[in-house]
Structure formats: C-alpha cells, structure tokens
Amino acid sequence: MQEAQLLWGLLFGSIGLGYFLYGKKQRSVVPLVCGIALMVYPYFFANPYALVAIGVAITCVPYFLRQR
C-alpha cells in the first residue's frame, strides 16, 4: 500500500463521511449514496490517479444532481 493511496483514501473518505451525515440528516438520497461511495471506493483502486479522478467525479455528483 502506497502513501498516496492512503492519503487520498483518507481525504475522500472524510468528504464521504460529511456527505453521508448531511444526507442522513437532510433525508436526501444523493448525498447519502455519494458519501457511502466515497468511503468505500478507495478499497478497490490502487492507482493514485484513478483514486483522484473517481473521487473528484463522485464529489461533484451532488452538485449536478440537486433534488428540488
């Protein structure tokens, strides 16, 4: 396990925890699911570039899929 993988996983996992707590409190499905995805996906990718690309993509999803 590389240091970069650990640090990026920690960063996106922390963001995911924030999304998860926000989605649970607001009863909103999109941030809740994105939070779970951000906390789980670092376990499946070892390439740091893939971690960053997928993490940024998942982090941006709630912004583009706002529920009105």
Predicted confidence (pLDDT) per residue in 12-66, tens digit: 999 999 999 999 999 999 999 999 999 999 999 889 999 999 999 999 999 998 7
**For residue 58, which amino acid is it?**
I
Domain membership of residue 25 (yes or no) is: yes
Domain membership of residue 68 (yes or no) is: no
Give the model's pLDDT for residue 1.
62
Contacts of residue 48, Cβ cutoff 8 Å, sequence gap at least 6: 2, 4, 5, 8
Give the model's pLDDT for residue 66.
77
The Cα–Cα gap between 7 and 25 comes to: 27
How many domains are there within the chain?
A: 1
Domain that holds residue 39: 3-62
pLDDT at 68 over 70: no
Give the model's pLDDT for residue 41.
95
Q: What pTM value is reported for the model?
A: 0.89
